[in-house]
Amino acid sequence: MSTKKKKVKVAEDRVAIVCEPLFKHGGAEVHLKYILETFPNSEVYTAFYDKEFVKSFYGDIKIHHSFMQYLFNKIQWRQIYLIFQPVAYRLFKFKGYDSIISFSIAFSKFIKAKKTKHINICMTPPKFLWEKEARTLKSINQLKGILRFFYKIYRGSVGKMIENRWRKMDLKAAQGCTKIVAISNVVKERIKKYYGLNSDVIYPPVEVKKIKEFKKVNRKENWFLYHGRVETYKGVDLAIRAAVKANVPLKISGMGDDLDQMKKLVKKLNAKGLIKFLGYTTEEEKINLLSRSKALVFPVKGEDFGIVPVEANAAGTPVIAYKDGGVTETISEYNPKTGIFFDKYDVDTLSKILREFKSEDFSPDNCRKQANNFASEIFTYRLQNYVREN
């Protein structure tokens, strides 16, 4: 008689993951990718998505959408269609799931979870509702034609009333969650301030291992790098003006709504030879740039976490950052020394740092060790246990 024991297959948690609309590559989309890998037996719910983007970036995932998927020009007119999102998420039905994870920066946590455990991963309470001085819904200067016309109507008449209603709904949705996870201590403080709720911090995943496996650069080149969305609120104009004043080369990697505006600024400053726009870069090109640059310039106010500075450290590169937001939790000025902060948000302060910056003051190995604290493996382990234990 055989004494072999049959292997008992342990059922994986069946998880519904609710997220904001999916149509472009960014830090949040990478974050979502790791949530999906943490729970491979999961299904995605979102208001609408771009099929080509989802297919290329996430592969064959099971995805549910709302009626918004069928709206005309849904991605180009997404600011106008924002008014439908609260309803879109409320209409989703969930059946047979062990847990629901909403991954939110706006309305995805508005779902009706009923008796199912609902854990919200909060990138931040919506800034266009709670911190309008830091981030408006959209700058009118970035809109043209019919979009500009409708936004003028929104801002001039019904906008305030709608946003007051949204704030009440947002507060109620947050208070209805089983647990809330903040992506940084900065976001944890905002959750307490605006929702009156306690939350737990799990830092976002950073592909530290992948970056460290990239060929190491033994000598830094004599130029600084900005990598990310080319938007005014990201401080790109400050980086340009400071680099020009310090007379140091700056490469700008990335796309964004204000790219043309920044190019006009460089032309106005007569700095075409000093400031170089690289446009869209692949992951491999990004790592190569981070590895070769003298330092990453990160002039962002109130960043919720800031993945790119950690990626720079993983590539052995120090960071020059404004001392505000999540970057203060990831970059160290002391032991190990992995970056420099500037306290005053102006051209003179940043240009002085750029002009006097010395690569030899920083150890690439120390930068890489610091980045290890935010590796994706830590995120996967912590999130999996958190969802199962709460």
- The enclosing domain of 36 has a CATH number of 3.40.50.2000
Q: What is the 3-state secondary structure (H, E, C) of 162-211?
A: HHHHHHHHHHHHHHCCCEEEECCHHHHHHHHHHHCCCCEECCCCECHHHH
Provide CB contacts within 8 A for 197, sequence distance 6+.
174, 175, 180, 191
* 84 and 162 inside one domain: yes
Residues 147 and 111 in one domain: yes
**Dihedral of alpha carbons 17, 284, 218, 319, sign:** negative
pLDDT at 20 over 60: yes
Mean pLDDT of 62-90: 94
pTM: 0.88
Q: Note whether 129 and 272 are same-domain residues.
A: no
At residue 333, the pLDDT reads 93
Q: What's the structural domain count of the chain?
A: 2
Q: How long, in residues, is the chain?
A: 390
Q: Do 72 and 175 lie in a common domain?
A: yes
Assign 3-class secondary structure to 124-176.
Answer: CCCHHHHCCCCCCCCCHHHCCHHHHHHHHHHHHHHHHHHHHHHHHHHHHHHHC
Percent of the chain scoring above 70 in pLDDT: 89
10 within a domain of the structure (yes/no): no
Q: With beta carbons less than 8 A apart as the criterion, state whether 69 and 92 touch.
A: no
- Please list the helix, strand and coil fractions of the chain in percent, rounded to the nearest 5, in that order: 45, 15, 40
Q: Is a pLDDT exceeding 50 seen at residue 3?
A: no
pLDDT digits (tens, 9 = 90+) for 24-49: 888 899 999 999 999 999 999 999 99
Say if 2 falls within a structural domain. no
Residue 165, both tokens: 């209603």
Same domain, 102 and 182: yes
Query: What is the average pLDDT score of the chain?
Result: 90
- For residue 3, tell me if it sits in a domain: no
Residues 260 and 305 in one domain: yes
Same structural domain, 213 and 360: yes
**Alpha helices (H) in the chain, listed in sequence order:** 27-38, 51-58, 78-81, 85-90, 127-130, 145-153, 159-175, 185-195, 208-213, 236-246, 259-268, 283-292, 307-314, 347-356, 364-371, 376-389
Q: Are residues 194 and 260 in the same domain?
A: no
In a domain, 268, yes or no: yes
Q: Are 258 and 252 in contact (CB under 8 A)?
A: no
Interior angle at CA 125, CA 119 and CA 126, nearest 5: 125
145 falls in which pLDDT band (50, 70, 90)?
A: low
> 369 and 220, same structural domain?
yes
Q: Report pLDDT for 301.
A: 93
Does the structure show a pLDDT above 90 at 289?
yes
AA identity, residue 283: E
pLDDT reading at 315 higher than 70: yes
What is the pLDDT at residue 39?
Answer: 95
Task: Please tell me whether residues 298 and 231 are part of one structural domain.
Answer: yes
Q: Give the per-residue pLDDT at 257.
A: 84
Examine the domain organization and report whether 97 and 198 are in the same domain: yes
Helix (H, G, I), strand (E, B) or coil at 332: coil
Determine the structural domain holding residue 261 and report its residue range. 208-374
Provide the β-strand partners of residue 319.
296, 339
pLDDT higher for 333 or 4? 333
Q: Is residue 180, in this structure, part of any structural domain at all? A: yes
Task: Determine the pLDDT at residue 9.
Answer: 36
The values of phi and psi at residue 286, to 5°, are -60, -50
pLDDT of residue 387: 95
The Cα–Cα gap between 290 and 282 comes to 12
| 55 & 146 share domain | yes
Q: Indicate whether 349 belongs to any domain.
A: yes
Residue 1 lies in a domain: no
Structural domain includes residue 8: no
